[in-house]
């Protein structure tokens, strides 16, 4: 089975894991700090804070920026549910915004403007599929409205522009991302005070870490805020340091594979739309395509699976998930809903080759032709 995504881990990751185990120090030590520094350097940032997941990163950012009950936060519905959940964690209200278009399935600036109220305090931009929106346009919007600007950059590690939009950015290192620590995330924040608040909040609000107390004359500590257990451990940080060294190369492979997909799909099944036809900075995290309306998506999924090709969907709209449908029973986001009904994600990761992409595109063309012929016969 050609998988939609696959982590690349090998002998070097095994070796550094063994080193951590042999060291006897498994959490919040020198490797975590080294990983933070390396991640910040890659993105041209002053510093970074490593945490247990991107969800934790979003939660900590929202809390550190002072968002809470009574506040509204603009979010896209075309995202993983964690984006909206994190808003709820701090007691704020997610306000779902439609996408720009079928070609640019990023949050619509026009729709965001229309959804603003006196309670709107922040906007979370999601870099869907690794593609970045217009930074200057969103900065101007945030300044004009007096909003905090936050990036859900789960799909965009390795781009220096990611993390530079506004107040803070959250990154993911989950197993299906462009680089992985199995579970894990990181925060980039412009303001040092915000970073240090997040750094303390990730470990129960404690004033010192276990490692710091080891090197200190006193084992005492204080707790100065309500914090969480959102730490990254040494094992994950060690893997992350290895993965970071390959990230730019892997992102380059993703670009080349995406270019091949675009060329082959345009050639062999032009009725299939590939979003982001114009220029966008990207890490090419996933390969989304839009099936033509005459194709039954489940038939396409089944056909490709029988041919040994896994596919998936990015994403079921958050506002249509049972939890949020109960909270927003009358919400209708037409472009998001149409996109989500037709979207199919094809395999894209550095373990596949150009010849595999050719085979996948050929199978996609076959099922599109079959569906077209079935429609004509009907």
179 to 47, 121, 152: CA distances (angstroms): 19, 32, 16
Rounded Cα distance between 138 and 279, Å, is 17
Q: Among residues of the chain, what percentage have pLDDT more than 70?
A: 97
The class (CATH top level) of 11-242 is: alpha beta
Beta bridge partners of 97: 76
DSSP annotation string for 30-46: HHHHHHHHHHHHHTT-S
**Under 8 Å between Cβ of 75 and 115:** no
Q: Which fold has domain 247-377?
A: 3.90.1150
The catalytic position among 14, 121, 160, 177 is: 177
Rounded Cα distance between 13 and 17, Å, is 6
Whether the upstream peptide bond of residue 315 has omega within 30° of 0, thus cis, is: yes
Within the chain, residue ranges assigned H as helices are 11-23, 30-42, 54-64, 82-89, 109-115, 135-145, 192-201, 210-214, 234-268, 297-306, 322-327, 334-342, 354-377
Q: Could you give the maximum distance between any two Cα atoms of the chain, in Å?
A: 82
Residue range(s) of every CATH 3.90.1150.10 domain in the chain: 247-377
Q: Does residue 177 carry a catalytic annotation?
A: yes
**Under 8 Å between Cβ of 340 and 317:** yes
- Phi and psi at 332, nearest 5°, equal -135, 120
State residue 3's pLDDT score.
Answer: 97
Rounded Cα distance between 348 and 345, Å, is 9
Residue range(s) of every CATH 3.40.640.10 domain in the chain: 11-242
State residue 368's pLDDT score.
Answer: 98
Helix (H) / strand (E) containing 290: strand 287-290
Angle at alpha carbon of residue 19, lines to 349 and 238, rounded to 5°: 40
Q: Per residue of the chain (378 residues), what is the pLDDT tens digit?
A: 999 999 999 999 999 999 999 999 999 899 999 999 999 999 999 999 999 999 999 999 999 999 999 999 999 999 999 999 999 999 999 999 999 999 999 999 999 999 999 999 999 999 999 999 999 999 999 999 999 999 999 999 999 999 999 999 999 999 999 999 999 999 999 999 999 999 999 999 998 766 665 565 667 788 999 999 999 999 999 999 999 999 999 999 999 999 999 999 999 999 999 999 998 999 999 999 999 999 999 999 999 999 999 999 999 999 999 999 999 999 999 999 999 999 999 999 999 999 999 999 999 999 999 999 987 766
Rounded Cα distance between 22 and 55, Å, is 30
Give the tokens for residue 142.
Answer: 């945030």
Rounded Cα distance between 364 and 361, Å, is 5
Within 102-233, residue ranges assigned H as helices are 109-115, 135-145, 192-201, 210-214
């Amino acid at each position: 089975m050609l998988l939609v995504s696959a982590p690349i881990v090998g002998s070097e990751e095994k070796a550094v894991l063994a080193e951590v185990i042999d060291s006897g120090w498994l959490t919040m030590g020198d490797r975590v700090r080294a990983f933070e520094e390396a991640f910040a350097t890659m993105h041209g940032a002053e510093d970074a804070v490593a945490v247990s997941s991107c969800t934790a990163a979003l939660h900590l950012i929202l809390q550190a920026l002072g968002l809470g009950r009574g506040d509204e936060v603009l979010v896209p519905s075309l995202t993983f549910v964690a984006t909206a959940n994190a808003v709820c964690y701090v007691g704020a209200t997610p306000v779902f915004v439609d996408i720009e278009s079928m070609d640019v399935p990023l949050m619509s600036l026009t729709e965001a403007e229309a959804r603003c109220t006196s309670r709107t305090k922040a906007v979370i931009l999601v870099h869907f599929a690794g593609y970045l929106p217009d930074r200057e346009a969103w900065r101007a919007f945030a300044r004009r409205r007096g909003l905090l600007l936050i990036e859900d950059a789960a799909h965009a590690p390795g781009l220096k522009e990611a993390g530079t939009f506004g107040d803070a950015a959250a990154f993911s290192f989950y197993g299906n991302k462009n680089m992985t620590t199995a579970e894990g995330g990181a925060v980039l924040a412009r303001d040092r005070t915000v970073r240090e608040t997040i750094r303390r909040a990730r470990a129960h609000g404690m004033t010192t870490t276990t490692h710091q107390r080891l090197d200190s004359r006193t084992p005492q500590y204080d707790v100065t805020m309500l914090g969480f257990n959102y730490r990254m451990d040494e094992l994950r940080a060690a893997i992350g340091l290895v993965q970071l060294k390959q990230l730019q190369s892997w992102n380059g492979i993703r670009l080349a594979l995406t270019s091949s997909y675009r060329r082959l799909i345009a050639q062999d099944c032009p009725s299939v739309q590939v979003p982001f036809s114009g220029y966008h900075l990207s890490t090419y995290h996933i390969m989304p395509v839009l099936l033509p309306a005459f194709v039954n998506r489940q038939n396409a999924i089944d056909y490709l699976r029988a041919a040994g090709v896994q596919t998936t969907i990015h994403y079921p709209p958050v506002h249509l998930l049972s939890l949020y449908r109960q909270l927003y029973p009358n919400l209708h986001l037409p472009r998001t809903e149409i996109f989500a009904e037709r979207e199919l994600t094809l395999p894209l990761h550095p373990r596949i080759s150009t010849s595999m992409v050719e085979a996948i595109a050929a199978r996609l063309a076959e099922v599109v032709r079959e569906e077209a012929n079935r429609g004509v016969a009907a």
